[in-house]
Structures are given as structure tokens and as C-alpha cells.
Amino acid sequence: DAGVTQSPTHLIKTRGQQVTLRCSPKSGHDTVSWYQQALGQGPQFIFQYYEEEERQRGNFPDRFSGHQFPNYSSELNVNALLLGDSALYLCASSLTNRQVTYNEQFFGPGTRLTVL
Amino acid sequence: AQTVTQSQPEMSVQEAETVTLSCTYDTSENNYYLFWYKQPPSRQMILVIRQEAYKQQNATENRFSVNFQKAAKSFSLKISDSQLGDTAMYFCAFMKQGGTSYGKLTFGQGTILTVHP
């Protein structure tokens, strides 16, 4: 059973460019959350996708957008890249089950984005 | 809004000894979960232990246990019989229970733990 996978592993972009990061959730999961982790810091919640819609969003500008596909995989897009966008981007998947109050999140290995 | 604070940027321990990592949090919620996650140099974030706020009993998972003090909003992690494989960054995290939480995690800044042979 494959866990959460992310691609690419590393990415180097220049300021002003656009980038797309990809995430495939763990088998059986339908919900994908994205986090940004700056070097030496804790992850910060960007947004969450469920049923192909953005269900919740953290304190990130509109330059950060996403998409979820019918197979539950997800993309994170960042436009007009800034030097401060350099970070590890983590994807986490879970199964939304309203019968329980807790649905464990499983994290992928992340994509390291460097903006020059 | 919730905040999570880890005041120990780095800790070190000798193999086979015990170490405690500290975490405090601030919230106005009454129902929530607290977690400790481990992030080894390989970067994959792994759940170590989970505590439900409504449970008075402290959670334990093998060598890992927590000291949950709800009134003090304190949540520390004790690692017994430390092993070299425990070397990692440890994050304390908060999740509001139910409602519109949808599983959003709020993380602390992390504590780098190094286990020395």
C-alpha cells in the first residue's frame, strides 16, 4: 500500500516564475492538506481540499492556489514566486469520516522549493 | 486562533537515557487533540503520539509518553530508553476537534533532538 507521494522532490525556480507541486494521497484517502515548512520552522497550514473544493484555508495570499482531481490527487500552484516562498512543501492526506471525530493525517516526504 | 510554543530549540541525550521535550499551547477551545510528530532528516513527518483533551489519562506508546496538563495548557513528551533512531526534529501540534476544524494542524517551532551513542 503506497503512502502519500509527492513530486518533484526538489525544484529550483527564479523570482516571478510559477510552480506546480503534486500530491497523491494514501490509498483510500479523499482529503488533501498542504503545509509550508520554512527552514528550521514548523509547518504552516496553507489549505485543504475535499470533494474537489477548497474546504479551509490558512493565512496565505491568493498567489497560492490548488486543485483536487476526481482521483483525489492534488496540485499546489504558486504564482509570482518570491524569495520567501523557498520552503519544504508538505502534503498530508486523510479520510473524511463524519462518524468519528478524529481522522489521522499521513504526510508525504515533501517537495523542497528553492527560489533564486 | 491557537498557538503552540516549543521553548527548547535543541536537546541532546545519551543513548538509553530519558529525555523530556516541552510544549505549551494557547486555545479557547475545550475539545481538541494534541500530537507529537517526529521528522527525521529524511523529512517524512511521522505521528508519535496523540492525546485527546477530554481524556485525563496520559497517552503512552511504547517508549513514548506524555504529561498532559490541561489547566496549565502544557503537553510534554517523555522518551525513555533513547535510541539513535530517535534523532529527529520533534513537533508539538494542536488540532481543534469537530466543527469546521477539518483536521487543520497548528504546529510549534520544533525541537531538534540528538541522541548520542
Tens digits of per-residue pLDDT, A68-91?
999 999 999 999 999 999 999 999
Which distant-in-sequence residues (6+ apart) come within 8 Å of B28 by Cβ? none
CB atoms within 10 A of CB B76: 17
CA–CA separation, B6 vs B38, rounded Å?
14
Specify the pLDDT at position A66.
Answer: 97
Reading phi first (left if > 0) and then psi (alpha if -120 to 50, else beta), residue A104 is in: beta
Give the residue from B10, B36, B102 with the most A CB atoms within 10 Å of its CB, the best one to mutate. B102
Give the length of chain A: 116
pLDDT tens by residue, A8-25: 999 999 999 999 999 999
Residue of B nearest to A105 (CA): B103
Strands (E), chain B: 3-5, 10-14, 19-21, 24-26, 32-39, 46-52, 60-61, 64-69, 74-79, 88-96, 106-107, 111-116
Q: Which residue from B74, B46, B39 is spatially nearest to B58, judged by alpha carbons? A: B74
CB atoms within 10 A of CB A38: 13
Question: Could you tell me if B50 lies within 8 Å of chain A, comparing CB atoms?
Answer: yes
Chain B partners within 8 Å of A109 (Cβ): 42-44
Chain B partners within 8 Å of A45 (Cβ): 104-106
Specify the pLDDT at position B98.
Answer: 72
pLDDT in tens, chain B (117 residues): 889 999 999 999 999 999 999 999 999 998 899 999 999 987 789 999 999 999 989 999 999 999 999 999 999 999 999 999 999 999 999 998 876 667 899 999 999 999 999
Chain B partners within 8 Å of A97 (Cβ): none
Beta bridge partners of residue B68, listed in sequence order: B75
Q: Which three cell numbers stand for residue B7?
A: 521553548
